[in-house]
Amino acid sequence: MGFSKDFLWGGATAANQIEGAYQEDGRGLTTMDTLTVGDAQNPRQITYKTVEGQVCKDERLAAVPEGATGYIDPEDFYPSHTAIDFYHHYKEDIALFAEMGFKAYRMSIAWTRIFPTGTEAEPNEAGLAFYDAVFDECLKYGIEPVVTLCHFDIPLYLADTYNGFSSRETIDYFVHYAETVFKRYKDKVKYWMTFNEINVLRSWLQMGIHPNDDATKAQAVHHLLVASAKAVQLCHDLIPDAKIGNMIMYAPSYAMTAKPEDVMENITYKRQVEFYLDVMVKGYYPAYKFKEYERKGIELVMAADDLAVIEAGCVDFIGFSYYMSTMSTTDTSIPKTPGNNMMSYKNPNLEVSEWGWALDPLGLRIALSEMYDRYHVPLFIVENGLGAVDVVEEDGSIHDDYRIDYLDTHIRAMRDAVDLDGVDLMGYTPWGCIDLVAWSTGEMKKRYGFIYVDVDDRGQGTFKRSKKKSFYWYKEVIAHNAENLQ
Ligand code: BG6
């Protein structure tokens, strides 16, 4: 009973939230590089000047001349530019992962390190070499790299020139990028995922799209799904012994009451994520999606072979993030609370984190059961964790018992899913295994890591790494395959 011997224990990060060095060795700009720091009260801003010097805040797209590559306003602070400087600390960081006993490290490749604008015919060798070095460092310690091709970082040039995934050209550029990295790393990387949290991508920032109306979004999502399916097929062809998954944000949703209206509302809500799973795992567009588009007057433009491509590009596993559950109701007077990429009705049965996200370990078992029962493919929890403020004591120690409690209850819930429900679970890579820039707010003080990084919300600090109490705790969990947890 319990987790298999080859269970992939590890941790997860993303390029734009850790690497920094945003203009080093030929890296091009991404849409994420235009995002300033915010906090729980003040949303992050997209601040961006075009090459012609127009200042554009948020509505900037209206003013961008065709083909502009633009530059970043030096007046603002952009967390991705320095992040935690993994680019220069990766050896030290991976050594710490190894010390915890990681079997896997989930990370992403920055598309613009390989193709600075996204459109070059030849890749940037310095960018490729960087990831060679990172993968070699992992493999030296027996850590399997688990690589996301695209984690919220679309080349800025593709956004400016092609309106990102609104246009079919971007599919081809993405596929060229995927093919390049598959060929280069085929002997080093055996676990891949296509787009991070594909079900929450909806804006200029993550898809490079403009304008942001329902029809443009639906078309861009279709292009993402085709691009993903093409990458899956390529991976199967080029690296037959690799496994490639999708990556979705999964927050199980509960009907607030047994009222049939609430239950129907919940079904409708759940279809928002099931749509992506139906397409990527089962290989077909579900009827409810076509009906929804019909009601909204959206007519998707499809190439003749798009549906065949989707059918042939089914993933080998479902990778997903789990942080919280949510709730559906027809009663719109119910108070709301923030959640991962959403505002959620507040479930009166659950406590929330400092950032308002519902705390629900059993929800992880529910998520695993729902997906395994419906899709029958292996599952991989590639993000989970608690964002919290850590206090560094005078002696440098950090007692993050709250994080240990969170992870302990979630790991036990996933063990139940394996032991009691028969779920096929490949691995667990908790989010932000080393402190990193929070995606929603851009803060450093919202920390997830087992490893503390001395950097503040304005990118100031020594960048020194230190081990939190949870570091030692997680090391024991991995060493005992979680059998030490009660
Ligand atoms: C997921 C993303 O949505 O949640 C990560 O894949 C993100 O990039 C994580 O960091 C946690 O969200 P936040 O806003 O606390 O960083």
Residue matched to tokens 């440098």: 396
Q: Of all atoms in ligand 1, which is nearest to the CA of residue 14?
A: 8
Pocket lining: 340 vs ligand 1, CB cutoff 6 Å: yes
The counts of H helices and E strands in the chain are: 15, 16
User: In this structure, are residues 381 and 428 in contact, taking their beta carbons and an 8 Å threshold?
Assistant: yes
Q: Is the pTM of this model over 0.75?
A: yes
The 10s digit of each residue's pLDDT in 388-427 is 999 999 999 999 999 999 999 999 999 999 999 999 999 9
* pLDDT the model gives residue 71: 56
Is-catalytic flag, 383?
Answer: yes
CA of 419 to the centre of ligand 1 (A): 29
Q: How far is the CA of 356 from the centre of ligand 1 (A)?
A: 14
Residue 62 near residue 416 (C-beta atoms within 8 A): no
Work out the average pLDDT over 90-109.
98
80: Cβ below 6 Å to ligand 1? no
170-195 average pLDDT score: 98
- Ligand 1 contact, 32 CB (< 6 A): no
What is the model's pLDDT at position 116?
93
Contact (CB, 8 A) for 145 and 94: no
Q: Residue 103's pLDDT is what? A: 98
**Upstream peptide bond of 211 is cis (omega within 30 degrees of 0):** yes
CA-nearest residue, atom 2 of ligand 1: 439
CA 388 / ligand 1 centre spacing (Å): 13
Which of 19, 265, 383, 443 is flagged as catalytic? 383
Determine which of 39-48, 237-246, 316-325, 392-401 has the lowest per-residue pLDDT on average: 39-48
What's the pLDDT tens digit per position in 230-257? 999 999 999 999 999 999 999 999 999 9
On the question of pLDDT at 64 being above 80, the answer is no
The pLDDT, as a whole number, for residue 72 is: 65
Least Cα distance to 230 among 116, 311, 293 occurs for 311
Average pLDDT value for residue range 57-81: 60
Instruction: Summarize pLDDT for 427-484 with one digit per residue, the tens.
Output: 999 999 999 999 999 999 999 999 999 999 999 999 999 999 999 999 999 999 999 9
Q: For residues 369 and 421, what is the distance between their CA atoms, to the nearest angstrom?
A: 7
- Asked if residue 315 lies in contact with residue 288, where contact means CB atoms within 8 angstroms, the answer is no
- Which ligand 1 atom minimizes the distance to the CA of 341? 3
Q: Which residues share a beta bridge with 380?
A: 319, 427
For residue 322 and ligand 1, the question of a CB distance below 6 A is answered with no
Give per-residue pLDDT as tens, 116-167.
Answer: 999 999 999 999 999 999 999 999 999 999 999 999 989 988 988 888 999 9
- Choice between 58 and 421, residue whose per-residue pLDDT is larger: 421
| Predicted confidence band of residue 50 (pLDDT cuts 50, 70, 90) | low
pLDDT at residue 60 in the model: 40
* Domains in the chain, CATH or no CATH each: 8-18+79-479 (3.20.20.80)
Residue 73 predicted with pLDDT over 80: no
- Atom 9 of ligand 1, residue of closest alpha carbon: 439
User: Nearest residue CA, atom 5 of ligand 1?
Assistant: 439
**Number of C-beta neighbours around residue 43 at 10 A:** 12
pLDDT at 219 (0 to 100): 97
